[in-house]
Amino acid sequence: MKLISVLIFTLSFSSSIAQTNFDSLKLVISNGSDSVKYRISGRTGLAYQYIDKDSTLKYFQISYEACERNNWYEGMGNVKLYFSGYYYYSLQDTTAISLIKEALKWYTEADNNQGILNSYYMLGTYLGGFEDFDSSVFYLQKGVQFGEEIHDSAYLPMIYNNLGLMFQYQGFNKEANDYFLKSITLKEAIPNSNLRSTYLNIGLNYYNISQNDKAIAYYKKAELLFIDHHEDQPRALALKNIGDAFSDDNQLDSAVVYYNLAHAIFEELGDSNSVARYYLSMGEIATKKEEYQKAKELLDLALYSLPKSANSRLIIYIQISRAENYLTLNSHKNPRELNEVIANLQDADVLSKEIGLFSPRVTISYLLYEAYELLGEYKLASQYAKEHIVLSDSLFNQQSSEAIAKQNAKFESEKKELKIQFLAKENDLKNTKLIQNNELQTKQQHIIYLLFSGVFFTGIFVFVIFKFYRKQKIFNTNLQIKNTVIGKQNKEKIILLQEIHHRVKNNLQIVWNLLDLQAYNIPNPEIKAAINDGKNRVNSMATLHTMLYQNDDLGNVSFEEYLSKLVAQIKNTFSITQNYEVIIAVPSDIKFDLDTSIPLGLIVTELFTNALKYAITDEKKAVIELKVEKINAEEYTLTIRDNGPGLPAGFDSKKTGTLGLKLVPNLCRQVQGSLKMMNDNGAVYIIRFKGKSFDVE
């Protein structure tokens, strides 16, 4: 479980006078000057803030009014920060933020650079504490810009640290690492600076990108410094994080040792949130050891240990782990328990949306699908299965799908419109020829009548022939012009089709690049693999459109050439060291149109990718064969086989968790085909389908 770094938080005001004789201070305040009222009332309010709410606010107000009477802008800014600290710890986020913004205004009036920088820092820190990460990053980055302009060395290390933490919370680990290293660089140059919290944070960042050796090294550096400074709470957090790293590397016994050390400190401090995290971590250890009943008891303890003000992220992960454990432990149907699991997951999903967490929603949607399926509510199960597929493909998947659908729809529309225009021109030409023939027939009849009329009409006949000749010449000229126009339109049609295919290919390439960019920032290997699968699907369609606009035949592609390119591109996405062979057996004269080639290309993408994942082992040389055979004028078979371990016993594509194998039957139906799966010295897939060619006529 990847939880919680240290948010560096400090107020530049002292509350060291908490034990001062308050009666004496009251007398000094009532008889003192405005300067005394400002200083002593402010400090008295700070001392009261853990004792008496009304007195805290009263003394802060006396301090502020003294500054206001004298237009002491810097003092007014200081007191507004006093107020904001009180409301922050009272969990009144809106009021706390408004007060810091007022402080920023007064510091700006006073031209107090340190106050301005402190305000940016406090705004970012408070908003981060309230889990408004986008706003937190905005103000912390303003603090970075301002701090670098004034060459600050006091606040910048803390701002860099907290800015790295905000990026870390949102999954932007590269940016987080950059800011943590900047913070460490500045702090190492400053004596007695707080390096320990930044060590802890950068350790978590390395943990998030699965570099656990580096993570443990930084955690241990932080723990030693926490021991030197007698800081038990963050020391326990460092111990807990070391346990997380060992657990992630499957060194479970070492993980338990560090978890127990952390737990002892959490219990002593009465830290309910951290005790809950301990039970959550121990529950996950029990799950990895397949001790599911023990895991259930520990996860229940985690939930019941939570205080009312528990961290939202912690609640989400506990509910996910409890649901996963329940669904693993209980294959029977218990409507009451299942409905409770569903309700908890839906609450966790709402929380994830509220605080902008994406990864938990992928898991939650799949667990809701499983729970509703066990409950027998297949419609809701299907709904969450679809949601899981969309979320798994990536944050950009929906936009990508819409872009692809839009371009394909545009292509189909333009293709139909072009065909209609072409047929209309052809009909116009036929009508013109028919009219011409009718006119010619009429003229010829007239000529025959004139011939039979005798010599008397010879002169008239010659005249008519002359006129007819001129009209015929004009007609032939017009006909030639029309034929030239039609030929030009036919060339324009070819150019237009080429442009359409080219644009569709470019748009698909943009989608591919978006998916590639998203995959780069995602540490989770399962989500990254799902995104790579999506990239291969997009690439199969982009390859097809590339071939179409490069070929003379704009409606059909050579399926042998298409498969060869597609297989080569998919192979390049895998880093396979074992020796294997791919055989492609497709007759060179087989060509299919876009409607046939796209589903077949996606089928090949899914099944060939599956073969690369599971058929290639160290035991023997893997052979993967792709073969197309013609059965009759309309029907063909596509066979994909390998010599790997084959399909597991009782395998059912409808029940598999693999998205690709769920898509294949749907794609088969698009080509009016059927799918047969079996084992024959490895996995064999046979798709019988109807192949079509594009014909504009």
Question: Which helix or strand (DSSP H or E) is residue 684 part of?
Answer: strand 683-690
Q: Is the model's pLDDT at 492 over the cut of 60?
A: no
pLDDT at 618: 80
- Whole-angstrom distance, CA of residue 377 vs CA of residue 368: 11
Band (pLDDT 50/70/90 cuts) for residue 495 is low
Instruction: Establish how many alpha carbons lie within 13 A of residue 60's alpha carbon, considering only the half-sphere containing its beta carbon.
Output: 25
> What number is the average pLDDT over the span 672-690?
92
User: pLDDT exceeding 70 applies to what percent of the chain?
Assistant: 72
With 0-12 CB in 10 A as exposed, 13-18 as middle and 19+ as buried, what is 185? exposed
pLDDT at 510: 66
Report the alpha-carbon angle 225-226-227, nearest 5.
Answer: 90
Q: Is the model's pLDDT at 12 over the cut of 70?
A: no
- Whole-angstrom distance, CA of residue 511 vs CA of residue 401: 9
- Whole-angstrom distance, CA of residue 35 vs CA of residue 589: 96
pLDDT at 174: 82
pLDDT at 452: 62
What mean pLDDT value characterizes the chain? 78
Q: Which stretches of 2-132 are DSSP H helices?
A: 22-31, 34-48, 53-69, 73-89, 93-110, 113-129
Q: Output the six-digit token pair for 614.
A: 């599971």
Buried b (16+ CB within 10 A) or exposed e, 469-504: eeeeeeeeeeeeeeeeeeeeeeeebeebbeebbeeb
Handedness of CA 316, 318, 322, 324 (dihedral sign): positive
pLDDT at 185: 84
Buried b (16+ CB within 10 A) or exposed e, 219-253: bebbbebbeeeebeebbbbbbbbbbbbbbeeeeee
> What number is the average pLDDT over the span 183-187?
83
CA distance to 208, 216, 328, per residue, from 203 (Å): 9, 7, 32
With 0-12 CB in 10 A as exposed, 13-18 as middle and 19+ as buried, what is 403? middle
Q: Is the model's pLDDT at 587 over the cut of 90?
A: yes
Q: Is the model's pLDDT at 111 over the cut of 70?
A: yes
The top-scoring range by mean pLDDT among 5-19, 197-211, 403-417, 443-457 is: 197-211
> For residue 696, which of 430, 488, 414 has the smallest C-alpha distance?
414
The top-scoring range by mean pLDDT among 19-28, 354-363, 442-451, 618-627 is: 618-627
pLDDT at 158: 87
Spatial neighbors of 603 by CB under 8 A, at least 6 apart, are 638, 664, 667, 668, 687
User: Over the Cα atoms of the chain, what is R_g?
Assistant: 38
User: pLDDT by residue (tens digit) across 327-362?
Assistant: 877 656 678 888 888 888 888 888 888 877 778 888
Pairing of strands 674-679, 683-690: antiparallel
Instruction: Annotate 290-341 with DSSP letters as a single string.
Output: T-HHHHHHHHHHHHHH--TT--HHHHHHHHHHHHHHHHHH--S--HHHHHHH
Q: Which fold has domain 1-209?
A: 1.25.40
pLDDT at 341: 83
- Just give the CATH number of 555-690: 3.30.565.10
- Whole-angstrom distance, CA of residue 681 vs CA of residue 33: 96
Q: Is the model's pLDDT at 626 over the cut of 90?
A: yes
Q: Is the model's pLDDT at 239 over the cut of 70?
A: yes
Band (pLDDT 50/70/90 cuts) for residue 641 is very high
Band (pLDDT 50/70/90 cuts) for residue 16 is very low
> What number is the average pLDDT over the span 475-491?
65
Q: Are 539 and 572 in contact (CB under 8 A)?
A: no
pLDDT at 211: 87
| The total number of residues written for the chain in this structure | 697
pLDDT at 342: 86
Quote the distance between the C-alpha of residue 620 and its chain's center.
Answer: 38
pLDDT at 692: 84
Q: Output the six-digit token pair for 208.
A: 């998030």
Is the pLDDT higher at 3 or at 123? Answer: 123
pLDDT at 101: 92
pLDDT at 413: 46
pLDDT at 539: 64
Q: Is the model's pLDDT at 419 over the cut of 70?
A: no
Q: Is the model's pLDDT at 417 over the cut of 70?
A: no
User: pLDDT by residue (tens digit) across 366-408?
Assistant: 888 888 888 888 888 888 888 888 887 754 554 444 444 444 4
DSSP 636: E
- Whole-angstrom distance, CA of residue 145 vs CA of residue 164: 15
> What number is the average pLDDT over the span 207-236?
87
User: pLDDT by residue (tens digit) across 530-578?
Assistant: 676 676 767 666 676 676 556 656 568 888 988 998 898 888 878 787 8
How many helices (H) and strands (E) would you count in the chain? 25, 7
Range name among 219-223, 281-285, 481-485 with the lowest pLDDT average: 481-485
Backbone angles phi, psi at 6, to 5 degrees: -100, 120
User: pLDDT exceeding 90 applies to what percent of the chain?
Assistant: 14
Q: Is the model's pLDDT at 498 over the cut of 60?
A: no
Q: Is the model's pLDDT at 433 over the cut of 70?
A: no
Question: Which helix or strand (DSSP H or E) is residue 12 part of?
Answer: none
